[in-house]
Structure 1
Amino acid sequence: MSGDNQTLQKAFGTKDVLALAFGTMVGWGWIMLSGAWAASAGMLGAIGAYVVGAILCVFVGMVYAELTPAIPCTGGGVVFSYKAMGYWPAVIAGLATSFAYIGVAAWEGPAFATAIDYVVPIPKIGFLWTIQGFDVYGSWALIAIAASVIITMVNYKGAKQAAIFQSIATIGLVTVGIIFVFGGATRGDISNTKPLFTDVKGFASVLLMVPAMFVGFDVIPQSAGEMNVPLKKIPKLLILSICAAAAWYMIMIMTTCLSAPAAVREAGVIPVADSMAYAFGSPIWGKICIVGAICGILTSWNGFLYGGARVLYSLANAKMLPAFLGEIHPKYNTPSNAVLTCGILSTFSCLLGKGALVWFVNASSFGVVIMYLMVALSFCFLRKNQPDLARPYKVKYGKFVGAMAIFVAFFFAWLYTPLGPSPLIGIEWLLVIGWFILGLCLAFYAKNKYRYFTEQERLIALFGEE
């Protein structure tokens, strides 16, 4: 295949793809939230929520596993939805996916500054404002902004640089994780794990966050146009990345509970770091843990900024968003303007402080479930309407898998509504609704401005020319 959609550099090998997906999924959330998950649901309750979440997400992963090698073009849900359902469903899928990615990337800046502050306290200079009880200072925000600029430039200069960066940071993350598990297993106490289970509401509150914690494997479809990997290998990488992340989260919840009593975990500034320091008997180990946390922040940040830019590029390249976002850098072969747009949004969030973290996690999770729904619907429509589509990998029991993937999306969506146990709050709904209103306005603008762009040209832009 060749065409506008295929001008991105083929930079990712098998190890790069796995590092991209696993590093993006695991990120920083487990460092900050493992203690909170155990406090909400108990150790076994929190682990159980991840077991349920992993099983549900595997159904969605199987849908992606069939569609990605069948339609190996940059954009993931955008190209799937366009081929299955047409123009506007593709726009909705793209807006949901970009919102999910950029929303998670947006909380990496505050998380990074929080991690640095734990290791080396940042002087409180230049008070800006208070958000959610957290005082934001210019000195603190500047640290986050500097990191955001670096991540943006890594992505701006090329996919291969982003892949190398991702692999190195993932190795650092896993190394610290292994040390933490060793400490919990050899120095922890089983009595620290109580309570094992709290109640259904606590279980539901942990389950609510699962979509945001697992989002990341779907950056594999976003990178399809830049992968140098056999198509038949892609499904295995998808499912393997989901299972690896699920195992990681469950092991880290168990290790956090073993390492320190509930009082230490719940009172800690960064629960996993405080638990590691407690288990090893020295605060230096908490700082070592944060080094791994910083690696996790960088892998997640890098992966989501990468994925978000590719979604915007895919829409803009097909003239479904302003063409400015679809331009390829003549030297680096990256969607440079899309990267800069995502980078600017991520940098702006650095000014909001740690108090805004939960807003971005919950709001982006809602974007994730819309993304899952659109991809699951695409799978079902293509199975019915295009049974002869070449599928290098075909999922068994397709009707059941498709129905389960749709059920998963609706189930998670229900959790966020006022009818569910943990609904989104006002500011979170404002983020969701505001993004879609802005995106649809830009989409209507593009549809009117690029009326000359024919359907054949759009198909070539999205899928390449055979």
Structure 2
Amino acid sequence: MGDENNKLVKAFSTKDVLALAFGTMIGWGWIMLSGQWAASAGMLGAISAYVVGAILCIFVGMAYAELTPAIPCTGGSVVFSYKAMGYWPAVIAGLATAFAYLGVAAWEGPAFATAIDYIVPIPKIGFLWTIKEFDVYASWALVAIVASVIISFVNYRGAKQAAVFQTIATIGLIVVGALFVFGGLTKGDVSYTKPFFTNVKGFSSVLLMVPAMFVGFDVIPQSAGEMNVPLKKIPRLLILSICAAALWYMLMIFSTCMSAPVSVRLTGTIPVADAMAYAYGSPIWGKICIVGALCGILTSWNGFLYGGARVIYSLANAKMLPAFLGKIHPKYGTPSNAVLLCAALSTFSCLLGKSALSWFVNASSFGVVIMYGMVVLAFIFLRKNAPNLERPYKVAYPKFIGFMGVLVAVFFFWLYTPLGPSPLVGIEWMLVIVWFILGLACAIYAKGKYSNVTEHEREQLLFGEYADKK
């Protein structure tokens, strides 16, 4: 067995890793939902929900912060779970992670076409079908498909190309965000921000959405095999990315409230863009805002496509999924077949229209819950069963962190079950069930086909030079 992990190119610098994590977390949701968050909870209520949500995510993030430099191998939740709990828990963690990432990547195409349509209306040519009362046209879908092909090509060509793309798009996102904040501060009106608080129900409704908005920092462990970064830096990058995303969302809520009255924020086509246009007194500023939103869509899309391909590669490279998905491109050093699979799924979703977005967002959130739960369990198990594992970074109060991490995972899990306030609907459950049935079928096939792979050989494939760490 060869050491496949070393065939991935170590191309990511510190700034690349930060851009990957931050850009992946900041997608399209903020530009559509900031006005809704403020209306539900009030400006300070919505901001407070993000403070609470960030703290909850940091408990999970601390588990990642300890595990990533201790096991710095491509796969994140896969390698953590395998090291702590064995074969099948690693499969479950990997399938959940891939589902979470690809679920988000699946709605970036329709979001991209929606944003382009705001700037330059797309002619309605070639009616295809209606999904959830949204008419899908071939012309509209083609815009999303072209973007999907470009993003997929960037990922296919190499990690460094993906990193450069991510950095440029993240800078564009931040520049437009800064213009929006400046407009709110200098041209807005404090009277627009009232009420500051609404009620507990409003606060809770915003808090329910927070977990999905923070998904993305966990892409950092997926890139561990391609980082050219000191291991001791990784924990700081993880926590810094969560805090940066929380600050972004809070600033966007504040600026949306300052920039325009409630009537504009709630009735506009794209709330934040309409608020920015109102503050600056010209519709051109709404289009400029959408340029920033496009950067957010592209960074999130790029990051989740990257992360999804790496977790599938990690499983396939270890012969826990069909081995062809673990192929490394001889020239580009990327998991090319895994990238192509993720690209195909992302491109297909472009045909479903923007009304299907909620299906993918909600279903992928369930995958996030399982992923977080498995990582927290791996953290707890390794602290107990591998106390001497070399840990470049050790969290303080590990029992408390583990306990809180479990509570957070259980809380998130409860949100999406029939017992919670925002359960998944039928088609969302269908997406979850079909994904796991197909994934487990592939895993069972691989288990039989590669039954001659020994545990030692599999550890070499998963952990590479770190296989013998105890």
Q: 1:113 & 1:331 partners in 2: Cα distance?
A: 32
- Give identity over the alignment, percent: 81
Deviation track 1:364-396 (CA, whole Å, cap 9, x = no partner) reads 111111100000000000000000000000000
Match of 2:27?
27
Match of 1:48?
48
Q: 1:142 & 1:394 partners in 2: Cα distance?
A: 49
Pairing of 1:77-96 with structure 2 (within 5 A): 77-96=77-96
The answer to whether the 8 Å contact 1:201/1:421 transfers is no
Q: 2:384 & 2:334 partners in 1: Cα distance?
A: 36
Match of 2:297?
297
Q: 2:206 & 2:149 partners in 1: Cα distance?
A: 32
1:10 aligns with 2:10: yes
Q: 2:199 & 2:426 partners in 1: Cα distance?
A: 26
Give the 3-state SS of the residue equivalent to 1:128 in structure 2: strand
Q: CA deviation at 1:27?
A: 1.8
Residue identity opposite 1:31 in structure 2: I
Q: CA deviation at 1:428?
A: 1.3
Q: 2:350 & 2:35 partners in 1: Cα distance?
A: 24
Residue identity opposite 2:369 in structure 1: V
Residue identity opposite 2:200 in structure 1: V
Unaligned runs of 5+ in 2: none
Match of 2:379?
379
1:413 aligns with 2:413: yes
Give the 3-state SS of the residue equivalent to 1:458 in structure 2: helix
Q: 1:434 & 1:35 partners in 2: Cα distance?
A: 34
Q: 1:7 & 1:375 partners in 2: Cα distance?
A: 25
Q: CA deviation at 1:41?
A: 2.4
Pairing of 1:275-314 with structure 2 (within 5 A): 275-314=275-314
Q: CA deviation at 1:78?
A: 0.2
1:58 aligns with 2:55: no
Pairing of 1:228-307 with structure 2 (within 5 A): 228-307=228-307
1:463 aligns with 2:468: no
Q: CA deviation at 1:205?
A: 2.6
Match of 1:75?
75
Pairing of 1:275-354 with structure 2 (within 5 A): 275-354=275-354
Residue identity opposite 2:179 in structure 1: I
Q: 1:222 & 1:92 partners in 2: Cα distance?
A: 16
Query: TM-score, normalized by length of structure 2?
Result: 0.97
Q: 2:426 & 2:201 partners in 1: Cα distance?
A: 21
The range that moved more, 345-354 or 43-52, is 43-52
Q: CA deviation at 1:45?
A: 2.2
Match of 1:392?
392
The answer to whether the 8 Å contact 1:318/1:458 transfers is yes
Q: 1:202 & 1:134 partners in 2: Cα distance?
A: 28
Match of 1:447?
447
Q: 1:395 & 1:465 partners in 2: Cα distance?
A: 24
Q: 1:463 & 1:152 partners in 2: Cα distance?
A: 27
Match of 1:212?
212
Q: CA deviation at 1:207?
A: 1.8
Give the 3-state SS of the residue equivalent to 1:312 in structure 2: helix
Match of 1:131?
131
Give the 3-state SS of the residue equivalent to 2:351 in structure 1: coil
Match of 2:113?
113
Q: Which runs of 4+ in 1 moved over 4 A?
A: none
Q: CA deviation at 1:238?
A: 0.4
Q: 1:205 & 1:425 partners in 2: Cα distance?
A: 17
Aligned residue pairs total 465
Q: Give the superposed CA RMSD.
A: 1.1
Query: TM-score, normalized by length of structure 1?
Result: 0.98
Deviation track 1:85-113 (CA, whole Å, cap 9, x = no partner) reads 00000001001100110000011000000
Q: 2:132 & 2:189 partners in 1: Cα distance?
A: 35
Residue identity opposite 1:284 in structure 2: I
Q: CA deviation at 1:131?
A: 1.6
Match of 2:185?
185
The answer to whether the 8 Å contact 1:209/1:361 transfers is no
Q: 1:191 & 1:418 partners in 2: Cα distance?
A: 40
Match of 2:36?
36
Give the 3-state SS of the residue equivalent to 2:423 in structure 1: coil
Q: 1:71 & 1:13 partners in 2: Cα distance?
A: 18
Q: CA deviation at 1:28?
A: 1.8
Residue identity opposite 1:438 in structure 2: L
Give the 3-state SS of the residue equivalent to 2:128 in structure 1: strand
Q: CA deviation at 1:39?
A: 2.5
The answer to whether the 8 Å contact 1:31/1:270 transfers is yes
Residue identity opposite 1:460 in structure 2: Q
Match of 1:176?
176
